[in-house]
């Protein structure tokens, strides 16, 4: 974080990243490495020089208010929005502004906000669409693994996706992303609009997916849950990282508590 960023209008302006959050990984352990990323929508400067890294095996959470730039970050990593400046590397290979399907083929898979499932297709058809970029012959066994993670989807396998509950649709969106065999799963607001018991279930599933070997970059407005589950986390304010640390440390940080955790 540069001094300009630290002095930006954000509520965390006096904070500096702690030693615990300093980049310690060797390049080979890095799943994603984002350097000085700038993104614009016309005249709107949505991301203002972001530096973010995600190491193999981590859950990294990005928290921040509405409009901070969280979704823009994920959309830029997955090639849906163009970076004007800066670099994005996946496993040391530059992926900045590659076409989205090429980024999926490199194992970086986006589960977007709002689920974006195909409501006129069945559960199984949606899941199979997640594997459309794959050419290997393990799609059927991966489908079984996904249905093991989401027994509710197995029960509704031939049901039209539009008839699923909100929680089930979220599970389907995550299941479809898993069908692309991600090395890094980009999850945008997976708990949005869900009842508290389903929020808990979704976060347990995210933990399980991570425990089974998938690195996760998670964007969430449910800051409490996002920090609880995170190895490390970043706080984003108006397009800048204003704070980074372990999830545990940010949970007890007074400024984070005041601004994002309801005191
Ligand atoms: P939310 O949680 O509300 O989705 P966010 O942190 O994900 O917020 P972004 O959606 O990334 O924030 O938006 C960052 C900034 O970019 C905001 O000022 C937003 O209004 C602007 N923005 C996002 N998408 C577009 C777009 N398609 N066209 C123009 N401006 C956009």
Residue nearest to atom 18 of ligand 1 (CA): 67
- Residues 180-197, mean pLDDT to the nearest whole number: 92
**33: nearest Cα among 94, 110, 74:** 94
| Ligand 1 within 6 A of CB of 29 | no
Whose tokens are 């929020």? That residue is: 199
Q: Is 44 in the pocket of ligand 1 (CB under 6 A)?
A: yes
Residue 186 to residues 41, 93, 177, Cα–Cα distance (Å): 21, 18, 9
For residue 193, what pLDDT is reported?
Answer: 84
For residue range 157-173, what is the model confidence (pLDDT) as tens digits? 999 999 999 889 999 99
Domains of the chain (ranges; CATH) run 28-120+181-260 (3.40.50.300)
Among residues 29, 50, 63, 35, which one has the least CA distance to residue 184?
Answer: 29
Is residue 24 scored above 70 in pLDDT? Answer: no
Output the CA 72–ligand 1 centroid distance in Å: 6
Determine the pLDDT at residue 21: 39
Eight-state DSSP code of residue 231: S
Q: Ligand 1 in contact with 222 (CB < 6 A)?
A: no
CA distances for 5 relative to 17, 90, 214, 223, angstroms:
12, 25, 31, 21
Residues 107 and 90: beta-carbon distance below 8 Å: yes
d(CA 59, CA 259): 22
Q: Are strands 93-94 and 85-90 parallel, antiparallel or unpaired?
A: antiparallel
CA 87 – ligand 1 centroid, Å:
20
CA 69 to ligand 1 centroid distance, Å? 6
Atom 1, ligand 1: residue with shortest CA distance: 66
Query: How far apart, in whole angstroms, are the C-alpha atoms of residue 109 and residue 257?
Result: 31
Q: If you write DSSP's letter for every residue of 26-65 in order, what string do you get?
A: -GGGEEEEEEEEEEEETTEEEEEEEEEEEETT-EEEEE--
Q: Tell me what pLDDT residue 27 has.
A: 52
Which percentage of the chain shows pLDDT scores above 70? 89
Write down the residue that tokens 């199984």 correspond to: 124
User: Could you tell me if the CB of 143 is within 6 A of ligand 1?
Assistant: no
Q: Find out whether the beta carbon of 71 lies less than 6 Å from any atom of ligand 1.
A: yes
47 CB within 6 A, ligand 1 = no
Smallest CA-to-CA distance from 70 within 224, 190, 180, 169 is with 190
Nearest CA to ligand 1 atom 28: 41
Query: Please, which residues have CB within 8 angstroms of residue 195's CB and are 6 or more apart in sequence?
Result: 167
The bridge status of strand 184-188 relative to strand 108-111 is parallel
Which residues make Cβ contacts (< 8 Å) with residue 241, sequence separation at least 6? 1, 5, 50, 51, 52, 234, 235
pLDDT digit string (tens) for 231-261?
999 999 999 999 999 999 999 999 999 999 9
Q: What's the pLDDT at 34?
A: 98
Task: State which ligand 1 atom lies nearest to the alpha carbon of 236.
Answer: 6
Specify which of 16-25, 26-35, 254-263 reaches the highest per-range mean pLDDT.
254-263
* Closest listed residue to residue 192, CA positions, set 164, 218, 224, 170: 170
What's the token pair of residue 53? 């890294």
pLDDT at 12: 38
Inform me whether the pLDDT recorded for 15 exceeds 60.
no
Regarding the beta carbon of 235 and ligand 1, being less than 6 Å apart is answered no
pLDDT above 90 for 58: yes
Per DSSP, the residues of 76-116 read HHTTSS--SEEEEEETTEE-TT--HHHHHHTTEEEE-TT--
Ligand 1, pocket-test mutation among 45, 52, 63, 72, most atoms within 8 A of CB: 72
Higher pLDDT, 24 or 52: 52
How does residue 187 score in pLDDT terms, banded at 50, 70 and 90? very high
Q: How confident is the model at residue 50 (pLDDT cuts 50, 70, 90)?
A: very high
SS3 label, residue 165:
coil
Q: Is the pLDDT of residue 263 over 90?
A: no
| Residue 101 confidence (pLDDT) | 92
pLDDT at 29: 86
């Amino acid at each position: 974080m540069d001094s300009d960023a630290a002095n930006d209008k954000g509520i965390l302006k006096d904070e500096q990243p702690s030693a615990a959050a300093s980049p310690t990984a060797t390049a080979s352990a890095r799943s994603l490495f984002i350097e000085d990323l700038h993104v614009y929508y016309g005249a709107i400067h949505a991301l203002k020089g972001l530096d973010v890294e995600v190491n193999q095996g981590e859950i990294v959470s990005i928290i921040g208010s509405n409009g901070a730039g969280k979704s823009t970050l994920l959309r830029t990593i997955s090639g849906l929005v163009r970076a004007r400046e800066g670099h994005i590397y996946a496993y040391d290979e530059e992926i900045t502004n590659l076409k989205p399907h090429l980024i999926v083929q490199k194992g970086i898979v986006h589960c977007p906000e709002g689920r974006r499932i195909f409501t006129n297709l069945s559960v199984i058809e949606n899941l199979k669409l997640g594997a459309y970029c794959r050419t290997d012959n393990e799609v059927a066994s991966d489908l079984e693994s996904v249905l093991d993670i989401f027994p509710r989807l197995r029960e509704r396998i031939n049901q039209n996706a539009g008839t699923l509950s909100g929680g089930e649709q979220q599970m389907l969106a995550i299941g479809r992303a898993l069908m692309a065999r991600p090395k890094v799963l980009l999850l945008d607001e997976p708990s949005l609009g869900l009842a508290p018991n389903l929020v808990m279930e979704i976060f347990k599933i995210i933990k399980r997916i991570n425990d089974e070997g998938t690195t996760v970059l998670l964007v969430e407005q449910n800051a409490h849950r996002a920090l609880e589950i995170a190895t490390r986390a970043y706080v984003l304010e108006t397009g800048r990282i204003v704070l980074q640390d372990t999830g545990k440390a940010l949970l007890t940080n007074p400024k984070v508590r005041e601004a994002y955790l309801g005191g």
